Structure 1
Amino acid sequence: MVPTELELKKRRTRKDYAFHLEYRTRWSDNDMYAHLNNSVYAFLIDSIVNTYLINNCGLDPFSARSSSPSPSPPSPSPAHSQIGLVVSSYCDYFASVSFPDILDLGLRVVKLGSSSVMYEVGIFRRGEETVKAVGGFTHVFVEKEGMRPADGSGGKKGMDEGIRRGLERLVMKEGTGPGPAKL
């Protein structure tokens, strides 16, 4: 019998993710049932994706505001004229975590289109191999000015080449490691 998509997610291990980030839970992350509140999972997913985009794709969140000057010093990397808008999101829960757990977040790209990318994040408790939750979202890259679909290099539609190169390092197929594979 062929496993379902949900069953495959539940089998994820740390090695299924190309980029990792640690998160130390806080007391305020817990809900009234003493486990991580659902909204915190969305925060974790957003945080690892944006950490990767800033550190590996050259995005500067402070330059994203097109009508105001950047409050931060100039970035050493070229500023991009594009931003990613979240168009869908999800999270599948398999086991709970709570304060004071230390979590390992893993990030991978499951689909890389011409102007969009679908991320997947695995959430693990430090020292455990069983995935606790798998979530993600889809970004569509648009031009900052006018919020229109992104124009890539040379006027071709698509995301900026620097962003694409960074994201290609996260593309993973079932049972393989990271690499520039196209889906």
Structure 2
Amino acid sequence: MAQTTLEQKKSRTRKDYAFHLEYRTRWSDNDMYAHLNNSIYAFLIDSIVNAHLIAHCGLDPFSARSSSSPSSSSAASPSPSPSQIGLVVSSYCDYFASVSFPDVLDLGLRVVKLGSSSVTYEVGIFLREEEMVKAVGGFTHVFVEKEGMKPAAGGKGMDGRIRAGLEKLIVKGGGESKL
């Protein structure tokens, strides 16, 4: 019998994700039931996505509201940040096992769908040195121009630097990403 989407998510391992980020939980991350608060999962998912966009897609969060940024005048900056930002249009999280402070987590990121101006991310949340996924969540970004918050003119889709960085995380055949 074929696995359901939820069963597939529950069977994820670290190798199913191309980009990883460590997170050390904090006492304040726990809720009154002594496990990670649901809002922290959303924070973790957002954090790994943005860490990848900054490190591998050329995004500069300091230039998100203006055309100038602290790093744009630097000689080390090869090109200006893309003129686009991603707006979250949907999000989810499926929970399989609890985590809590003082756990150290390994977050894994992959792209499950890449459109002309949108991307759907999936994030696996693991305890350090454990293979069983504790939660799988994600969201969909639609990339728009910073100025006016409208889609790119002429139907050109997302900026090439963003696309190139995201293509490295695309899932091939439902398994591993190509990074």
Question: After the TM superposition, which of the residue ranges 2-11 and 156-165 deviates more from structure 2?
Answer: 156-165
Shift of 1:127: 1.3
Unaligned 5+ segments in structure 1 are: none
Equivalent-residue separation in structure 2 for 1:175 and 1:142 (angstroms): 28
How far apart, CA to CA, are the structure 2 residues paired with 1:168 and 1:117?
A: 10
Equivalent position to 1:107, from 109, 116, 119? 109
In the alignment, which residue of structure 1 is the partner of 2:14? 14
Q: Distance in 2 between matches of 1:65 and 1:172?
A: 32
Cα distance in structure 1, aligned partners of 2:123 and 2:78: 26
Contact 2:36 2:100 in 1 (8 A): yes
Match of 1:178, as an amino acid? Answer: S
The change in CA–CA distance for 1:59 and 1:77 in structure 2 (over 3 A counts) is farther
Name the count of aligned residue pairs.
175
Over aligned residue pairs, what C-alpha RMSD do you find?
1.5
Q: Deviations over 1:92-124 (max 9, x none)?
A: 000000000000000000000000000000000
Corresponding letter in the other structure for 2:158: M
CA contact (8 A) 2:172 2:178 kept: no
- What's the offset of the Cα at 1:44? 0.1
Q: Equivalents in 2 of 1:42, 1:134: separation in Å?
A: 11
> Alignment identity in percent?
78
SS at match of 1:84: strand
1:117-154: CA deviation from partner (whole Å, max 9, x where unpaired): 00000000011100000000000000011110124xxx
Q: Residues 58 and 77 of structure 1 are in contact (CA less than 8 Å); yes or no, is this contact kept in structure 2?
A: no
* Residue 40, structure 1, aligned to residue 40, structure 2: yes
Q: Which moved more, 1:58-67 or 1:107-116?
A: 58-67
Consecutive unaligned residues of structure 2, counting only runs of 5 or more, are: none
1-structure distance, mates of 2:162, 2:155: 15
Is 1:162 aligned to residue 161 of structure 2?
yes
Provide the rounded CA distance (Å) in 1 between the counterparts of 2:71 and 2:174: 42
In the superposition, the TM-score normalised over structure 2's length comes to 0.93
Following superposition, the deviation at residue 13 of structure 1 comes to 0.1
Q: Which AA in structure 2 matches 1:167?
A: L
Paired residue type of 2:151: P
DSSP-derived class of the 1:73 partner: coil
Q: How does 1:117-136 map to 2 (within 5 A)?
A: 117-136=119-138
Give the Å deviation of 1:2.
1.1
1:31-110 counterparts in 2 under 5 A? 31-66=31-66, 69-70=68-69, 72-74=70-72, 76-78=77-79, 79-110=81-112
Find out whether 1:26 has 2:57 as its counterpart. no
Q: Which moved more, 1:155-164 or 1:23-32?
A: 155-164
SS at match of 1:6: helix
Query: Post-superposition shift, 1:176?
Result: 3.7
